[in-house]
Amino acid sequence: MSAEMNAVPPMTMPASAAALPAATPAKVPSAAYAKWLARQRREKTLVLASRLLLLAAFFGLWEILAKTKVVNPMLTSYPSALWPTFVDLLHNGNLLTHTWATFKATVVGFVLSMVFGIAIAAGLWWSRFANKVLDPFLVVANAMPKIAFVPIFYIWLGSEYSVYGMAVAIAIFVTIMVAYEGFQSTDPNKIKLATTLGASRAQVLRMVVLPGSVPTLIAALKMNIGLSLVGVIVGEFQSASEGLGFLIVNGSQVFKLNIVMTAIVVLALMSALMYLVIARVEHHLARRYG
């Protein structure tokens, strides 16, 4: 064989590879954008510090006013007296038992009122005739003082499940009305476009109305968690044998204000934690549907 035949041809890059653009360096944020980010971080830190300072000032003022007898410590207790009570209730197991009872009832009431409330609101959106028939009844039911239902729920559901009934009764009507208004405010052009493309009414509800009502449903979530907790506490005040509401009533009856105030502080912490969970859900849904 000749040398020409044994020679290996040089490697050549394919045309497609040659046409690929060179890797561009990562963009560096502009000075104005970097200043804006720094300003946002400072503002976030300042807001958090202000919240903590306000909370510390509240507890400090409460402690000083009670210790100096400006307010009667027998009627208000004071923060330094709450910690031993908290530890005592925690050690004997009462605090965890009552807290879990209230938390469980709140979550159950919250879930039931959201599920049934959104389902009923969707039914009202689906049938304008049903909405016209039921609208005045829903308004009246929402305006009624729900505490009037406590004896009825106690007879119908018993001491335990009447608490769930109160949570649902207080939260569900607001959920229906808020969710329905969100469904009604969906962009009619989007609904018309989906209908023109052949979507059924169920598909319009699932693909257009529900995603378009996410901000309204988030607002319903925020209201509903608080209303469910209010319903649970009202139910526990009247008929329960456990829960933070029961602990508050029982402590007030024997004039142990330390127990009452400790239960209220735990209730506030529970409310804050549930709000943080709802805020995380809001952040996730806003990123997905925003």
pLDDT, tens digit, 9 for 90 and up, residues 169-197: 999 998 999 999 989 888 888 888 888 88
11 in a structural domain? no
Of 48, 76, 104, which marks where a domain is finished? 76
Q: What is the pLDDT of residue 100?
A: 92
Residue 212 within any structural domain of the chain:
yes
Judgement on whether residues 71 and 106 belong to the same structural domain of the protein: no
Q: Rounded distance, CA 191 to CA 286, Å?
A: 21
DSSP 226-269: HHHHHHHHHHHHHT-SSSHHHHHHHHHHTT-HHHHHHHHHHHHH
pLDDT tens digits, residue range 211-220? 888 888 888 8
pLDDT, mean of residues 47-63: 92
Query: 85 CB contacts (<8 Å, ≥6 apart)?
Result: 258, 259, 261, 262
Q: Are 108 and 167 in contact (CB under 8 A)?
A: yes
For range 230-242, the mean pLDDT: 84
pTM for the model:
0.77
| 171 in the same domain as 41 | no
Question: Is 43 found in the same domain as 164?
Answer: no
The reply to whether 45 and 123 lie within a common domain is no
**pLDDT, tens digit, for every residue of 246-288?**
888 888 888 888 888 999 999 999 988 988 888 888 878 777 7
The residue segments making up the domain with residue 44 are: 34-76
pLDDT for res 1? 44
Residues 55 and 186 reside in one and the same domain? no
Asked, for residue 20, whether it belongs to a domain, the answer is no
Whether 187 maps to a domain, the answer reads: yes
- Whether 15 is covered by a domain: the verdict is no
Per-residue confidence (pLDDT) for residue 2, from 0 to 100: 45
pLDDT for the residue numbered 47 = 92
pLDDT of 93 above 80: no
68 and 171 fall within a common domain: no
Q: Are 123 and 187 within one domain? A: yes
Q: Are residues 146 and 231 in the same domain?
A: yes
61, 91: one domain: no
Number of domains in the chain: 2
